[in-house]
């Protein structure tokens, strides 16, 4: 059996059970101490050998996508102010995996994210996880 290198992460939910905290912020971005839940999920996947993180999103998940993107303005400011530790952490977050974003096509249940990402995983083995599940 080949090594699993891809993970589909379902992050298209509305977070209604966590209102009002999720009114203006995706539930996956709620912090656990100093990191959003989704970062902890991704770090665990990467530690397990996953290289491609396929986040199946919807229209209001831009903060989640931005979290894993390069933030040139912030990185430049951190460098300028000699905040190397913070610079390294922000850079590490965006480089820890290949991030692929796919819009979910319909609210049809837990199989919808897999169907939405099927053309990316093709016949390869993959993991399927939820972006707000944290188990330690």
Q: How many CA atoms lie within 13 A of 124 on its CB side?
A: 17
Average pLDDT over residues 65-87: 95
pLDDT at 58 over 70: yes
**Mind listing the domains of the chain with CATH numbers?**
6-69+98-130 (3.90.550.10)
| pTM score above 0.85 | yes
Answer with the residue of higher pLDDT: 133 or 47.
47
Cα angle: 35, vertex 107, 4; to 5 degrees: 55
- Asked if residue 136 has pLDDT above 70, the reply is no
> What's the pLDDT tens digit per position in 9-31?
999 988 888 899 989 999 999 99
Bridge-based pairing of strands 35-36 and 126-130 is unpaired
């Amino acid at each position: 059996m080949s090594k699993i290198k891809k993970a589909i992460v379902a992050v298209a939910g509305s977070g209604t059970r966590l209102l009002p905290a999720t009114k203006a912020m995706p539930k996956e971005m709620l912090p656990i101490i100093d990191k959003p839940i989704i970062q902890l999920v991704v770090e665990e996947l990467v530690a397990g050998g996953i290289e491609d993180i396929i986040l199946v999103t919807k229209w209001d998940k831009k903060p989640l996508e931005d979290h894993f993107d390069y933030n040139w303005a912030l990185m430049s400011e951190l460098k300028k102010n000699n905040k190397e530790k913070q610079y390294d952490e922000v850079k590490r977050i965006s480089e820890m995996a290949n991030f692929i974003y796919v819009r979910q096509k319909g609210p049809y249940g837990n199989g919808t994210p897999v169907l939405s990402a099927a053309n990316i995983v093709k016949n390869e083995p993959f993991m399927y996880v939820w972006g707000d599940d944290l188990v330690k």
